[in-house]
């Protein structure tokens, strides 16, 4: 993939080889303050259908129907999570009315900027997956969050001002959308459950249905309190350095989120 990622959707060989997975998103700033309105419908549908981004991804990107809209949303969020502000992903598609759309998706957080030079490595796949899970909203609404991690560049981008402005750590996210069996996990901060739900951030705390039962967020499985699953909050950065997945064991590719 070119350094600008300026590919045509017809370049299926380069697309499949260079991007094991893409996604969509719009971070407010490089320091990890992030609007998060990735629908869990888009996340689940596309992760399970196109998580390897093989040549069929080109036709998915061009699909003028609802499936194409969902996939393009996921691609946009993935690009935002993975790439830096200097990198873009470009392609064109034609809608049902025959109008051509020239898409330019911009990088933002730079969690796996090496994707611009070749396929995502194992670390890139996991931290990008964690980013996508953190930015998923059950209701498809935008809520400003502070995203934190022990992994670069988030490790250095979240300063004291941001931590002071976003003091409520709501939970943590991790997983791997590129595994043979894609999975995403979340845990919650017990002290922040009510505030998370009030802010429409149910993907960490879980949604309480009419019967009083707690539901997950699409394919994001809630595995309990972060206090039971993760290392203690790192005092300076207010993030969990690592968490233990019930199936795959300990992972350091974790994104911790916080609210105002």
Q: Quote the CA–CA distance of 175 and 129 in Å, as a whole number.
A: 6
What number is the average pLDDT over the span 167-185?
A: 90
Query: How distant is the alpha carbon of residue 203 from its chain centre?
Result: 12
The helix or strand, by DSSP H or E, that contains position 172, with its residue range, turns out to be strand 168-176
Distance separating alpha carbons of residues 73 and 177, to the nearest angstrom: 15
Q: Are 35 and 143 in contact (CB under 8 A)?
A: yes
209 against 24, higher pLDDT: 209
Contact present, 130 and 254 (Cβ < 8 Å): yes
pTM confidence score: 0.82
Structure tokens at 47: 């992760």
pLDDT tens-digit series, residues 224-245: 999 999 999 999 889 999 999 9
Whether the pLDDT of residue 48 is over 50: the answer is no
Compute and round to an integer the Cα radius of gyration of the chain: 17
């Amino acid at each position: 993939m070119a350094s600008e990622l300026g590919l045509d959707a017809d370049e299926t060989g380069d697309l499949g080889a260079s991007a094991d997975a893409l996604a969509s998103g719009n971070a407010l700033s490089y320091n990890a303050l992030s609007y998060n309105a990735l629908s869990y419908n888009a996340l689940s549908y596309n992760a399970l259908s196109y998580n390897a981004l093989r040549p069929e991804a080109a036709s998915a990107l061009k699909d003028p129907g609802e499936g194409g809209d969902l996939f393009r949303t996921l691609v946009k969020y993935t690009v935002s999570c993975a790439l830096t502000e200097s990198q873009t992903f470009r392609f064109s598609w034609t809608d049902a009315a025959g109008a051509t759309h020239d898409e330019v998706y911009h990088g933002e957080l730079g969690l796996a900027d090496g994707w611009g030079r070749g396929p995502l490595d194992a670390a890139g796949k996991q931290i990008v997956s964690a980013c996508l899970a953190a930015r998923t909203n059950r209701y498809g609404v935008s809520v400003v969050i502070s995203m934190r991690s022990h992994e670069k560049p988030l490790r250095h981008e979240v300063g004291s001002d941001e931590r002071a402005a976003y003091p409520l750590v709501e939970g943590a996210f991790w997983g791997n959308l590129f595994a043979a069996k894609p999975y995403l996990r979340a845990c919650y901060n017990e002290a922040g459950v009510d505030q998370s739900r009030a802010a429409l951030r149910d993907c960490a705390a879980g949604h309480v249905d009419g019967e009083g039962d707690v539901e997950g967020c699409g394919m994001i499985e809630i595995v309990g309190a972060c206090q039971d699953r993760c290392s203690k909050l790192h005092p300076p950065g207010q993030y969990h350095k690592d968490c233990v997945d019930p199936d795959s064991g300990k992972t350091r590719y974790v994104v911790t989120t916080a609210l105002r």
